[in-house]
């Protein structure tokens, strides 16, 4: 604990130093340096303010502790009441400082590209993949995020083999990064005549959308194939050679886009998906370098991990990472995911706080 307080105290001192620098005429005359100082100051402002209040509360606690030795019974009673209130505030400020001390994930503010693929279970898996797609669209709509379809590959009976789409808005990745993994469904398929419950699955991958500055893609590393779109027609989509298949030679990643009428539009969409997948690969390498402790945390996004089960006969949804079950399946399938997201985020933060405290102990 003392190590954490010492570290925060130094950050608060740095905030005061930066404030003094901004008042220096020589600094004010240098716009570039002033902007750099202001940016650093803003990043630690909340932490410095929290520490200042923490220091005041600590001082008040010490004063009230002395009042407990006062001969006057009324003063002792008031001191005890004040100590209870101050102790609670001190604990809250302590937790706030620790949370603010955690390094921010630069990906959290990014838009996301979501990939949903039907897994085991045949046609039923495709139907479930389509329902997950609608679930995320409704979640995005409820939170006023914009969505953009990038690639859909349907089964012809209302299901989806694959859906790739973007969700755009500040903090999209910070909310949805816990959705990556295997989603299972347990129910009686519409094709099942004997009424037996089947288990099917779909995989979800949530990727932070990479900008061109995040990932450099060498043109020589890409093979581009043009072909005629398949599937439902209309507006010349499947009557011209507009579909694009990108193959990234170093990694073997293959991406096809055929939903737009022009080759250029399909190529641009395919490049967005490719950049995000390459960005994910690089991020995974960095995560691996941090060791097993970080990989075990909730936000690691392991696609092979079974994360959630949707049981239709019992209207039950269970998230296996936090052992949380709700009996509101209809609401969840209509995009009501916030209860899961908030608890997953809280547990992820608790794990990171624990790891940080261990490092500083």
Query: pLDDT tens digits, residue range 136-171?
Result: 999 999 999 999 999 898 888 889 999 999 999 989
pLDDT 10s digits, 218-233: 888 889 888 876 654 4
Residues 255, 273: contact at Cβ < 8 Å? yes
Which pLDDT score, from 0 to 100, does residue 213 have? 74
Cα–Cα dist 283/289, whole Å = 10
Which pLDDT score, from 0 to 100, does residue 237 have? 45
Cα–Cα dist 105/82, whole Å = 38
Domains of the chain plus CATH, in order, are 2-101 (1.20.58), 112-350 (3.30.70.1660)
pLDDT of 172 strictly over 60:
yes
- Between the alpha carbon of residue 244 and those of residues 227, 254, 299, 338, the distances in Å are 6, 10, 33, 37
Q: Is 0.95 topped by the overall pTM?
A: no
∠ at Cα 120 (116, 123), nearest 5°? 80
């Amino acid at each position: 604990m003392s190590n954490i307080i010492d570290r925060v105290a130094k950050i608060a001192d740095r905030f005061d130093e930066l404030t003094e620098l901004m008042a220096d005429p020589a600094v004010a005359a240098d716009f570039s340096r002033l902007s750099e100082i202001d940016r650093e100051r803003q990043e630690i402002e909340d932490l410095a303010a929290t520490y200042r209040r923490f220091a005041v509360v600590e001082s008040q606690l010490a004063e009230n502790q002395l009042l407990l030795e006062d001969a006057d019974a009324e003063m002792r009673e008031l001191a005890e009441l004040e100590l209870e209130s101050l102790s609670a505030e001190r604990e809250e400020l302590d937790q706030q400082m620790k949370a603010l001390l955690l390094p921010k994930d630069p990906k959290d503010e990014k838009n996301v590209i979501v990939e949903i693929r039907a897994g085991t279970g045949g046609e039923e898996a495709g139907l479930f993949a389509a329902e997950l797609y609608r679930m995320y669209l409704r979640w995005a709509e409820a939170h006023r995020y914009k969505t953009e379809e990038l690639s859909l590959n349907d089964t012809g009976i209302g299901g989806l083999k694959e859906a790739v789409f973007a969700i755009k808005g500040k903090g999209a990745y910070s909310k949805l990064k816990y959705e990556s993994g295997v989603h299972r469904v347990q129910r009686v398929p519409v094709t099942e005549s004997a009424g037996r419950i089947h288990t099917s699955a779909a995989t979800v991958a949530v990727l932070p959308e990479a900008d061109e500055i995040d990932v450099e893609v060498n043109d020589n590393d890409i093979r581009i194939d043009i072909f005629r779109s398949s599937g439902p027609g209309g507006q010349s989509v499947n009557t011209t050679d507009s579909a694009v298949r990108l193959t990234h030679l170093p990694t073997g990643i293959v991406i096809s886009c055929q939903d737009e009428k022009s080759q250029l539009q399909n190529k641009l969409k395919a490049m967005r998906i490719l950049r995000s997948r390459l960005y994910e690969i690089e991020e995974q390498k960095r995560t691996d370098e941090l060791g097993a402790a970080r990989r075990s945390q909730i936000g690691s996004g392991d696609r092979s991990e079974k994360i959630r089960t949707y049981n239709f006969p019992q209207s039950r949804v269970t998230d296996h990472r936090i052992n949380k079950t709700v009996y509101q399946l209809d609401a969840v399938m209509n995009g009501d995911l916030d209860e899961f997201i908030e608890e997953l985020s809280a547990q992820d933060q608790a794990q990171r706080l624990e790891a940080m405290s261990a490092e500083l102990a």
